[in-house]
Every structure is written in structure tokens, then in C-alpha cells.
Structure 1
């Protein structure tokens, strides 16, 4: 067993303090490129590399890379591109220090996705969109996703990691069970005479995804609650690929990295799109973003080829953080090229996704809905733990709290409230 696999992982706060204390590490350089071939004009991207946690503080910058793959029109993709980042940042209380801000991101992304979906559905548009949304803060990657676009990461050492989850009904049994237990139906398109064709879909509506933003015609069974993974890469950096399903229907993760080995990000993105559409021609919008995360002291250069012993191996398991003391580790620390998992959760239940081990006053504003940020009078909000089948150590009067509108939407999404307009279809 290599020394790298035996490395002891540490807490997020320790990792961040270590960066600040070392003059050699600093923040990474971010170099990116994107490419697209359009068939329907429903793919959109968002790239911002100069966001600030603290306005006017250049040392608090973070970067955002997002891909919105629309369907049944482009309205949901455009709306999400314009509002999702603001809705996410609005869910983070002010005056948090860096480690609290990074730790709050997974919960804030859940709130941001749900609020964006809720607000968009009020426009009465029936389009929908997949979303893969990535925030880079220093050496920490936080990725949130609904739908079937993907984000994958290759470390400088050649290991490949999935940072997103597929929400296709065809390949996700857990999501199929969630929909049917909530009152929805899952099946293939019936052409008459008992013949069924195509992928599994959710009915009514016929969407083949179990999670998205928008899609109000499908009903509350299709939820906007994202899968979220947060990891810390080593200071050797690596390469991110964020692509729509048009790429992944044609290429494996290994093939995507291999086909652009040695290329700068802009050429790499174009090559990945070319490789994806070349065999059968373009049948759907195909979009790719490539991001290289590089140490500042090193010049921009192609990533080295992967190690032979790890080539083609996808890492589904990460080093887990531990709560034990790390003072001795800090003293003898030499960072290997390893990706350490800080957070991962894919549940569709808001009571689980908005829960937090941090003090509630640090993660949520008092008397403010944890999702839509509307101000509430004391006693007006409903605890996210109310009605939960597994509240853990929380009590119904503990926060965070939802306004009545968001609580009603939560009950619909979790199958705890009937939807009258769909009940008649099953009678």
C-alpha cells in the first residue's frame, strides 16, 4: 500500500488554517476554456472567476463554473443562470469566517436550488433544466447537481473522481422508488398494443430525469434538491471537466481526459466536444467546460499523464474527515496528492439537507425562511424537523425554519401532501 493511501485526513478548519499559515501554498491559479455545439440552443454556461466573499477584499475571491442543460425550451436554463448564484449566496449569513463560509456552502446550495425552482415555477413556464454548479474556493471544490450533466475531476497524480450524480430514472433505482412512494408513476412510453419504448420516464409529463429545476408540468415528484459533494484537492491541483449529457452519452470519464491530454483548457474543451459528436453527428446540444487548477509557483503547463496503476480507475470513495486530534499531524505534515472528502449528501429530504452540526445562528439568519429568505415574525416559521420521520437529536421547535409556502412545497416534494390535480388521473 502506498504512503498516499495511508494519509490521515483532517478537519476542514485545520486544512484551511494550514493554507493560510503556509506562504508556499497560496491560492491556485485558475485557467479555463469552454466549447459548445448547438442543436436546440438550450445549453447555457456561467463562468465567474472574480466573485468575492467579502466585498472589496481581493483575498476572499472564489470562482463559479456552471452548466445549465435546458429541455422543453430554454426559459428554465436562462432563469437559473441569472438567479441561482445570487439565491445561493443570499442563503449564507453575513460575517462568517472562511471555514464557516465554506462549511455553509452545501446547505446554501440546497436552499439556492429550491428557491430558484420555486420562483421560476411562479412564472408558469413549463420548461426545465439540469444544473451542474461548481464553486472553487481556494483548494476546495463544492459541486451541486440535478439531472444528468456531470462534473469529474482528475488530480495531478492521475486519479479520477466523480463530483456529481446522475438523476436518470433508467439508472437510479433509489430515485424511482422515491417517486413511486410519493404517488408518481414510472414507466416507458406506451405506443399502443402494450408495446413500450425508450427510457424510463416519470408520469405525468414523461420526463426521464428525477431531479431538475422547473418542469412544473411533471408535478412535485421531480425535485430541485441537488446532490452535493465537497472535496479538498491537494495543492498539486488538477483538472475539472463539466459537460452536458451529450458528452457522457459518447465518452467515458477516462476517454474524456485522455482525448485532451496535454492541451490547454480551451483546446481541451473543443476536443472533448469533437470526440463526443464525431461518431454519430450532433443530436443534442453538447457543451463542455474545462478548468485547470494550478499552483501559483508553477507555470501553466499540460497535466502529466496518469500513473499506470491508477489509469482507468474511477474513485467513488474518498478519504473521510475525522474528528480526532490532528496537532501531531500538523507538525509533520507534507501534503500528498490526495483528494479529501469534506461533505457528500444526495437525499431529496429538506429536513436532512438543511440540518447542520454548526450553531444555527452561524448557518441561518434568525426569523428568515431557510429557503426563500423571506422575513418572518417570531413563531411564524415551521421547523424543518416538523413531520420528519427521522428528526435525530433535533426537536420540532428547533430551527432552521421555513415559511408556510416553502413548508407546503416541501411536503409536496416529500410526498406528505396530496396533489389534487394529479389524483384524478389515477381514479
Structure 2
């Protein structure tokens, strides 16, 4: 199996427009990954109306990302790829994702926010219901005596994911409409950890964040990949990007292990909290210093936005 490891770290200063960050994880060959990297950014730019103010451009990003994912999928209909695409504009972070790479934000106050969705059928009951309601079948590989082994898959095709770019040979149940989330950080900043499933299959999110603490972005990304490979071996693409979004006067984000603060602290995830990853994924805390501007994960979003 081919292994692609991208060890990357970046430091971003607010109020500067930056190139998008993306993790693309192809299956059935590299063709979809190459095509997506070459074309998705241009499709995003083309989907943003001209002559917008900075604020209007930021507000237009969610729709533009949905349109660009759908167009890229239409233009490239063979092989397949998962994509987590991140745009940072000042203190605003916009994330569009299909598949199982994940983007996690840790605010300067130590709260953790999940900015992407996991579209593995094993991890997403809503997607299982969507696929079966559309006429697809979801199940495990059958062996002797009807016993099922391995992860849940969509049939025909046997893909473990419900969303991707490409994969039209698998069937209409696999869609390219991304989950989109847009948040605004406080001016204290924060840290993004973006990684492929090769990382998240090996490390829980708390472990990954712990490995990044006290390290600059590039060293943190290298540490996460090293620990993931050490835990699971080179059995999957293992990619990590760590991005610090910092106020101008600070060299590194003050990622605190313990959070003080009255009532608000009751609604934030903290390293000492005994919450499962599933509980935090389902929103067992409310934003404190991170404001949610937009979130939509419906597979019907493209139709609602008149993009299909």
C-alpha cells in the first residue's frame, strides 16, 4: 500500500488572506487526489461572486465551498478521494469536509471544537439512515454462515464512507456535498490540528492535542505523525497539519491545560473532563470564545442552494 506522509506546520497572522489548507486522501489510486489539488482551489475562487467586500466574501464562502466540491465531483467521476478543506481569513476559519479526515480547533482558553464531520458509516448513524432511505444497502462483508466482518460499507461498491469526491462507480448514494462549518476566534487566537484518518485511527483527539502542546507548529505536526505511526504502523496515509492562528504580538498560542471561568467553564471541554469523544462530537459544550457563524451538514444542501 502506498503511504503519503505530509508533515507540515504553519504560523498564520490575522488580517492576512492565506492560501487554503487541505488534506486529500485518495483511494483506488492517486488520480483523484492529483486532480482535486489542481482544480478545487480554482473552483472555490470561481464560485465567489466578484466585487464583494471582505465581510461579504467571508459570508459567501460556505456556499462557494459547496459549489466547488460539487463541480469538482462532476468534472472528475472516477476513483475517489476524501477532502478536508480549510480557509483562514483573519480570525474566521471555514472548513468543508467529505470523508474521515478531521479538523479540530483548540482555542487559546483550552476549549476544543470539532470543525469537520466524520462520514464513515461506522461513525455516523444519520448517514446510514440517508443511504438506506435512498435505496442503498449498508452492511459488513459477509463470510461463512452469514457473519459480517470489518467496518460498515455501502453497497454496491463496498465503500466505508458515505461522502467523497469521485466514486461515481460506487453509486448515487455516495455524495460530494460537504459538511461546512465557519467559526470566528477571539483575538487570543488558537491552534488547528488537521489530520487524515491514519492519525485519528491511531490516536484519540485528546492524545493528539497533548502531543502538540509546548511545541511550535511544524514540530507538533511531526510529533503527531510519529506517534500515530508508532501506534498503528504505516498501514494508511498518515498526514497532519498544525496551524497556529496568533495575535501579532505573540509567538505561540497560550494553549492552557486548565480553564478558569465560572459558569462558562461548565460548557467547555477541558482535558480533565471525563467526556467520551462521542459526547464531545455531539456538542456537549457550548462555544465560549469561539463564535459559530455557520454550520450545515445536510446532503441536500446543494439542492437547497440551487447548485444542482
What's the TM-score, normalizing by structure 1?
A: 0.64
Deviation at 1:146, TM superposition (A): 0.4
Residue 164 of structure 1 aligns with which residue?
Answer: 116
- For 2:208 and 2:24, the matched residues in 1 are separated by 20
Larger deviation, residues 136-145 vs 260-269: 260-269
Q: Which has the larger radius of gyration?
A: 1
Aligned-partner SS, 1:250: coil
Residue 265 of structure 2 aligns with which residue?
Answer: none
> RCO higher in 1 or 2 (8 Å CA, sep ≥ 6)?
2
Match of 1:141 among 75, 78, 93: 93
Aligned-partner SS, 1:62: coil
Question: For this pair of structures, how many residues does the alignment match?
Answer: 289
Kept in 2: contact 1:43–1:69 (CA 8 A): no
Aligned-partner SS, 2:174: coil
Residue 106 of structure 1 aligns with which residue?
Answer: 62
Aligned-partner SS, 1:259: helix
Residue 26 of structure 2 aligns with which residue?
Answer: 70
Aligned-partner SS, 2:87: strand
1:16-27 matches, cutoff 5 A? none
- For 1:43 and 1:347, the matched residues in 2 are separated by 31
1:152-231 matches, cutoff 5 A? 152-231=104-183
Residue 48 of structure 2 aligns with which residue?
Answer: 92
Aligned-partner SS, 1:199: strand
Aligned-partner SS, 1:40: coil
Residue 350 of structure 1 aligns with which residue?
Answer: 301
1:34-73 matches, cutoff 5 A? 40-41=2-3, 61-73=17-29
Aligned-partner SS, 2:143: strand
Unaligned runs of 5+ in 1: 1-38, 51-58, 320-336, 355-383, 385-401, 408-427
Kept in 1: contact 2:163–2:175 (CA 8 A): yes
Deviation at 1:190, TM superposition (A): 1.2
- For 2:149 and 2:190, the matched residues in 1 are separated by 41
Compared CA separation, residues 42 and 80, structure 1 to 2 (3 A): farther
Larger deviation, residues 139-148 vs 276-285: 276-285
Deviation at 1:48, TM superposition (A): 9.9
Kept in 1: contact 2:8–2:242 (CA 8 A): no
Match of 1:129 among 66, 75, 81: 81
Q: Determine whether 1:311 maps to 2:271.
A: yes
Deviation at 1:280, TM superposition (A): 3.3
Compared CA separation, residues 149 and 231, structure 1 to 2 (3 A): same
